[in-house]
Amino acid sequence: MNLKRTSPILFISLSALLLLGALTWVDEQKSSSSPENWEKISSDRCTSILVGKEASTDGSTITTHTADCGVCDWTWYHVPAQDHKPREMRPIYHISQIKTWPPDVGSKWEMSKQNKTGVSIPEVSHTYAYHHGVFGYMNEHQLAIGESTIGCRKKMKNNTPSGTFDITTLTLLAMERCRTAREAIQLMGNLAEKYGYGHDSGEMLAVADPQEVWMFEIMPVGPLWSPESGKPGAVWCAQRVPDDHVSVCPNESRIGEINLENKDKFMASPNVVSFAVDQGFYDPEKEDPFNWKRAYSPTSGSAASSGGTRARLWRFFDLVAPSQNFSPDTPNMEFPFSVKPDKKLSLEDVMRITRDKYQGTSFDPAKGLKGGPFSNPNYHPRPFKVGDKVYPAPRTISVSRAEYTTITQCRSWLPDPIGGLVWLAFGAQDTSCYVPLYAGITKLPDSFQIGDHWIFNKNSARWAFDYVDFHTQVAYSYAIQDVKKVRQKWEKKALEKTPSIDTTAEILFQKDSSLAVEFLTDYCINHAQEVINAWWDLGNHLLVKYNHLGVYDSKNRETRSLDYPQWWLKEVVDYHNLKPLSKEEKN
């Protein structure tokens, strides 16, 4: 079968055009309820960016997380601070990153409580307030987290009951109990060692506070582990991102050589090297020094050799440090842990990076037939099959299947409730809008806690953004310009307003902290609702404007056809062997 000759069929079909956003994961969605498919769906998901305080323009530490599952729960909640009685116990439940239930059955968080591990740990006297989605993202003390699945060697996986803690539960406990990144890493590591880590594969957490950003990687130690063994039930390692550096985790282990004598830059479980030796992953007589990622999660290939499937690592470093001329042929395992950016990154810079689709590179998925007649970077399925052969396609930083994307900011010069910010964008980054959620707010919009992929719900905030995204895909090169105008308006408004909101809240905080919290809560809820309303309006606008693959000018009540590129029309002519009309037929 000739791919060049068959691809135009896809572009001609209107039904295919209307399903563009779903093509990359539709087969996975059909079987998402089967447990054996969950790990397959969750692999190669989530990109996390880490920015040290001296690498950002305003002095904040920054982390990001793209929850790009495509079938996961997207709801968000606020958990208030709580006081607990002496000897009270905290039950541990297994919380799947992927599994969801129909809304009429119950929320993911209610239903997960039925999945008891049988383990309870001593409660602390006071737990902190925090915001969470699939993971815990920020608490009232500006502890922030982002996530990326990194995998591990097959024999390390542990889906038995002995793997008490999963990665979601560890993040929630860190939010409840910790003030700093170091505290959170030690808590999560110690709990996993004592009670066992499993059900999830190797995971990376970007853990930050106003002073530091760390990359924490944790992996299970196999299905035969038991608490009675006296050995750690997990293996983990953490490396600090230098204050003037930035880093990224694109579903690949990123920590290389470690120096545990340098406690300012490294932390690890006591079995970090010995477990690798015992399992035959590392031979100290043949390999020196020890390299964490080579031992526990080795990968091969580069951006170029993978056809763009593994290009996120190269692309990030190319964007932030172009002067270093990183080559797409560089094996991913050889990229540095972090790099000093050519210029400090602003919040807007980070937003742009989360929306990057390799524009202008050889991996640009919108180029040529891959992007269809309207240069749609979301159109081309990845991977795709022709006959019995599977072909790669670029895996970009921005993906159409995202549940949401977070950007956290921890700002040391402000009181914690004001200094911490989560910028949340529901749905695909290119058609969504970041809205601010301060660390100290005591409530999230009700619409954030509603909805799932299978039932349309106008009361759900997420569906407003999916509504826009769906109508953008049909005539992407045209519609995305409308989206950018509205997005710029609302993000610019929030960004420009943040300093005055900070100042007002700080003045109120000095008088009465509760007044500041109330002010911030009202601001965040009202601003989010304005953006949600704007997105419903934008979706309606796109539906009318590009109806019937035309351009409807509502103001002048005029219409015209969309312009199809000549190169695409020539492909149609060649494929169908079309003959031009004669002079008489044209008349």
Cα distances (Å, whole numbers) of residue 349 to 71, 154, 354, 364, 473: 28, 37, 9, 20, 25
Residues 524/437, Cβ–Cβ less than 8 Å: yes
- What are the CA-CA distances from residue 219 to residues 119, 153, 269, 319, 492 (Å)? 20, 9, 11, 30, 40
pLDDT tens per residue, range 294-327: 999 999 999 999 999 999 999 999 999 999 999 9
**pLDDT at 34 > cutoff 80:** no
- pLDDT for 236 beyond 90: yes
Q: Decide: 230 and 432 in contact? Cβ < 8 Å.
A: no
With cut-offs at 50, 70 and 90, classify the pLDDT of residue 516: very high
Instruction: State how far the Cα of 500 lies from the Cα of 521, in Å rounded to an integer.
Output: 15
Q: Please write the tens of the pLDDT for every residue from 191-222.
A: 999 999 999 999 999 999 999 999 999 999 99
232 preceded by a cis bond (ω within 30 of 0): no
| Annotated domain spans of the chain | 404-454+462-560
For 92, the enclosing helix (H) or strand (E) is: strand 89-93
Query: HSE of 521 in the Cβ direction (CA atoms, 13 Å)?
Result: 16
- Residue 548: CB atoms within 10 Å: 10
pLDDT value of residue 31: 33
CA distance 425 to 353: 14
Residue 424 forms beta bridges with which residues? 406, 435
Closest-CA residue to 70 (of 17, 112, 32)? 32
Q: What percent of the chain has pLDDT over 90?
A: 87
pLDDT at 43: 54
Report residue 6's pLDDT band, with 50, 70 and 90 as the boundaries: very low
Helices (H), 375-475: 416-419, 461-473
In sign, the C-alpha dihedral spanning 273, 277, 282, 288 is positive
Residue 366 is predicted with a pLDDT of: 94
**Mean pLDDT, the chain, integer:** 91
* Residue 288 pLDDT > 90: no
Mean pLDDT value of segment 433-449 = 98
Long-range contacts of 123-127 (CB under 8 A, 24+ apart): 123/84, 123/85, 123/88, 123/89, 123/90, 124/84, 124/176, 124/177, 125/83, 125/84, 125/86, 126/81, 126/82, 126/83, 126/84, 127/81, 127/82, 127/84, 127/176, 127/177
What residues contact 173, with CB distance under 8 A and at least 6 apart?
A: 90, 187, 188, 191
Q: Which parts of 214-311 fold into alpha helices (H)?
A: 274-279, 292-296
CA dihedral for 280, 281, 283, 286, sign (positive or negative): positive
552 - beta bridge partners?
559
Q: Is the pTM of this model over 0.85?
A: yes
Give 20's pLDDT tier (boundaries 50, 70, 90).
very low
45, pLDDT greater than 80: no
Query: What's the CA gap between 287 and 289, in Å, rounded?
Result: 6
Q: Say which residue the tokens 């060049």 belong to.
A: 4
Give the mean pLDDT of 491-502: 98
Encoding tokens for residue 240?
A: 């600090």
CB atoms within 10 A of CB 114: 10
Residues 365-392: what's their mean pLDDT? 89
| Residue 302 β-bridge partners | 331
Peptide linkage before 289 cis (omega within 30 of 0)? yes
pLDDT in tens, 68-95: 988 999 999 999 999 999 999 999 999 9
With cut-offs at 50, 70 and 90, classify the pLDDT of residue 125: very high
pLDDT classification of 29: cutoffs 50, 70, 90: very low
Q: What's the average model confidence in pLDDT over 533-544? A: 98
- Mean pLDDT in residue range 520-549: 97
Q: With bands split at pLDDT 50, 70 and 90, how would you rate the model's confidence at 9?
A: very low
State pLDDT tens for residues 395-416: 999 999 999 999 999 999 999 9
- Determine how β-strand 435-438 pairs with β-strand 550-553: unpaired
**Residue 182: pLDDT above 90?**
yes
pLDDT at 10 over 60: no
Does 372 have pLDDT greater than 70?
A: yes
pLDDT value, residue 24 = 34
Q: Which of 339, 377, 340, 373 is nearest to 358 (CA)?
A: 377
Helix or strand holding residue 299 (H, E): none
Average pLDDT over residues 513-536: 98
Angle 127-129-133 from CA coordinates, rounded to 5°: 115
